[in-house]
Amino acid sequence: MVILATVRGIPQLYYGSEIGMAGDQYLGDADIRQDFPGGWEGDANNAFKPKGRTKGQKEYFDFTSKLFQWRKTKAVIHYGKTTHYIPEDNIYVYFRYNEAESVMVVINNNIESRTFPTARFNENLENYTKGKFIFDTTVLDLKVDITVEGKGFLILELEA
């Protein structure tokens, strides 16, 4: 979801992704294209409504909603340029930027947390000292190494 929400173009979500639905591609299309829970009279579970979602579905929905609400307000994501860096140690970093804003996206595909040096990204970080995580009030110092949780991500709005 993080990549879909922060790269160029119009994001296309497969229905059910917003509540964490998943199928097994090796079991065929029928497993991937399961019915979305709810919407029909008599359905036991209706994930179209908040009270009908499981705890896991609610977590996926809340995450997806917050991510794409943020995206909606960001011209830098819609129209900005992109700089990609070759992944190292299963950590992928790219920047979206324009004349007014810059966003750093970090994705850790390792199971364990990883720390990486920010100096590698000086080309995009030279005018910035802090990065504010979009989901809470966390502010990271961009002049020191950064740690990312296993299978985690950071979307940082950069500040001088």
Residue 144 CA to residue 129 CA, distance in Å, equals 10
Joined tokens for residue 151: 């299978």
Q: Give pLDDT, residue 9.
A: 92
As beta bridge partners, residue 139 has 132
Strands 102-108 vs 91-97: parallel, antiparallel or unpaired? antiparallel
Joined tokens for residue 132: 């504010």
Residue 2 CA to residue 128 CA, distance in Å, equals 22
Q: Give pLDDT, residue 28.
A: 87
Mean pLDDT for the stretch of residues 101-119: 98
Q: Look at residue 158 and tell me whether its pLDDT is greater than 90.
A: yes
The residue that leads in pLDDT, 23 or 100, is 100
Q: Give pLDDT, residue 140.
A: 97
Q: Can you tell me which residue has the tokens 């993080």? A: 2
Under the banding of pLDDT at 50, 70 and 90, the label for residue 3 is very high
Mean pLDDT for the stretch of residues 105-133: 97
- Quick one: DSSP state of residue 34? P
pLDDT tens-place string over residues 23-77: 888 998 888 878 888 988 888 889 999 999 999 999 999 999 999 999 999 999 9
Q: Give pLDDT, residue 29.
A: 82
